[in-house]
Each structure stands twice: as C-alpha cells, then as structure tokens.
C-alpha cells in the first residue's frame, strides 16, 4: 500500500537506508579541545553533559575534518552517553560531515531569496569551473561544493558559507573564477565576511 491511493508504489521512495560511518583512524581529543569541552560542560547542569554533544562534534571536525565511527565513540565516552546517542545527532544535523571534505567547503544558499538573485547560476558556475557536481570534492582536495538551505542573510543574496564558519555575500555568477582564485591564493581572506561587520572596520 502506498502513502497515497492515487500514487503508484514506485521506485526509490523507501528512505530507511542506514547510515554506516567509516571507522577511521583512532581518535582522541587534543588536550586543548578536551579542556575547552570541559569548560563548555560547566554551562549546563552537571548531569546534563549531553547538551555539549553538538559542540564536541564541531571539535571533532576542527581536529580531523569529518566525523568517523571512532570519533563518535570517543565523544560518547567523554560526554558519558551511548554511541547511538551521538550517531543520532550526527545523522540529523546538516553541518556535520560524515565523509571527507575539501580544504574549503563552499556552501551555497539555494533557497528562494538567494535563488531569485541568481544562486542557481552561482552553483552551476562553481561546478563548471571546478569540474565537480554538488557534494563532490575536487581532485586536488581543495574544494567541495554543497548546496545549503536558507543561510539567513537574504538581503545580501546570493550568500555562500565556507567551512561552516565563514561568510561570503553578494556573490555574482560572473565573479566565481575570481572567488576560486582568491581562495587558492589568499585563503579565507578572499571572502567578503559579514557586510555589517565590514562596515565597522
């Protein structure tokens, strides 16, 4: 029986594919990250260390780029919860990478306001210029192109976020080669940053 009586029981509708993480190399937090995490845990009641899972996972990504089975087990041990609890969180939130990504992850907003201002062209141009499809990484490991849902800066569309942390605004499709070249030579300094932030410097 399908979901809707008029809808045929088609191919590819079943969505219960289980995520099986790559085990990866042995993992432990650096002493700095560990200390940082313990400090973060003091923000919550002592028996609620689980609240710090998301922060711990960001630290995993800061340390090794993406999240692996071994890293999830380590996080579970440090937080004091089950590995399933950690896996539950990893597989839900879009900012956690479960596969290796490039040095620069270009997260292009694709939702309406950015799309009305040419985001489709920006993504297409990035993919053409870097010879990748969305969610793929260039052969040299430099760039991953991703489509992201609304980043919350619709007045400065189209917006690109880089590596979950850095902001780049009003990207015109024609300037894509300049952005890529800028990242190659100047690194993150090539990004516009947050415009209002820029105003005050």
Partner 1 sequence: MFEPVLTKYVNEPNGYTLDFYVQHGGYQAMKTALGLTPDAIIDSVKKSGLRGRGGAGFPTGLKWSFVPKDNPKPKYLCINADESEPGTFKDHVLLERNPHLLFEGCVIACRAIGAKTCYIYIRGEFYHLQKQLEAELVKARAAGYVGTNILGSGEDCDIWVHRGAGAYEAGEETALIESLEGKRAQPRLKPPFPAVVGLYGCPTVVNNVETICNVPVIIEKGAEWFASIGPEKNTGPKLFCVSGHVKKPGVYEAPMDTTLRQLIYDYAGGIRGDRQLKAVIPGGSSTPVLLPDKLDTHLSFDGMVAAGSMLGSAAVIVMDETTSMVWVAKNLIHFYKHESCGKCTPCREGVDWLYKILDKIERGDGEPRDVDLLLSVCENIGGKTLCPFGDAEIAPVLSTIQHFRAEYETYIRTGQSPVQSDFRAAEPVGAH
Residues binding partner 1 (CB under 8 A): 3-4, 6-7, 13, 15, 43, 45, 48, 50-55, 57-58, 79, 81, 85, 88-89, 92-96, 110-113, 115-118, 120-121, 123-125, 127, 133-134, 147-157, 161, 164-167, 173, 193-194, 196-197, 199-200
- Tell me whether residue 41 or residue 183 sits nearer to partner 1 (CB atom): 41
CB 121 to partner 1: min, Å: 5
Distance of closest approach, residue 10 Cβ to partner 1, in angstroms:
8
25/137 with CB nearer partner 1: 137
- CB of 173: closest distance to partner 1 in angstroms? 8
136/173 Cα distance (integer angstroms):
19
Nearer of residues 142 and 194 to partner 1, judged by Cβ: 194
Identify which of residues 76 and 183 has a Cβ nearer to partner 1 in the complex: 76
Closer Cβ to partner 1, 17 or 26, answer by number? 17
Q: Give the per-residue SS3 of the chain.
A: CCCCCCCCCCCCCCCCCCCCCCCCCCCCCCHHHHHHHHHHHCCCCHHHHHHHHHHHHHHHHHHHCCCCHHHHHHHHHHHCCCHHHHHHHHCCCCCCCCCCCCCEEEEEECCHHHHCCCHHHHHHHHHHHHCCCCCCECCCCCEEEEEECCCCCHHHCCCEEECCCEEECCCCHHHHHHHHHHHHHHHHHHCCCCHHHHHCC
Task: Give me the least distance between CB of 200 and partner 1, in Å please.
Answer: 4
Shortest Cβ distance from residue 111 to partner 1 (Å)? 5
- 21: alpha, beta or left, given left = phi > 0 and alpha = psi -120 to 50? beta
Q: Please, which residue, 185 or 200, has the CB nearer to partner 1?
A: 200
* Shortest distance (Å) from residue 146 CB to partner 1: 9
């Amino acid at each position: 029986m399908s979901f809707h009586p008029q809808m045929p029981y088609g191919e590819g509708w079943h969505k219960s594919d289980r995520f099986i993480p790559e085990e990866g190399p042995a993992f432990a937090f650096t002493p700095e990250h560990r200390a940082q995490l313990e400090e973060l845990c003091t923000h919550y009641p002592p028996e609620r260390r689980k609240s710090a899972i998301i922060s711990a996972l960001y630290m995993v990504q800061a340390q090794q780029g993406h999240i692996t089975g071994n890293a999830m087990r380590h996080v579970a041990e440090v937080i004091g919860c089950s590995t399933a609890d950690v896996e539950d969180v990893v597989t839900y939130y879009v900012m956690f990478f479960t596969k290796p990504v490039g040095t620069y992850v270009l997260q292009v907003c694709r939702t309406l306001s950015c799309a009305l201002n040419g985001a489709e062209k920006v993504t297409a141009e990035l993919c053409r210029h870097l010879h990748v499809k969305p969610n793929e990484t260039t052969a040299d490991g430099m760039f991953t192109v991703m489509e992201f849902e609304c980043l919350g800066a619709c007045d400065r569309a189209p917006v690109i976020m880089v590596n979950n942390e850095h902001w780049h605004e009003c990207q015109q499709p024609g300037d894509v080669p300049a952005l890529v070249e800028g990242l190659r030579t100047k690194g993150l300094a090539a990004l516009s940053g947050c415009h209002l932030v820029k105003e005050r410097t």
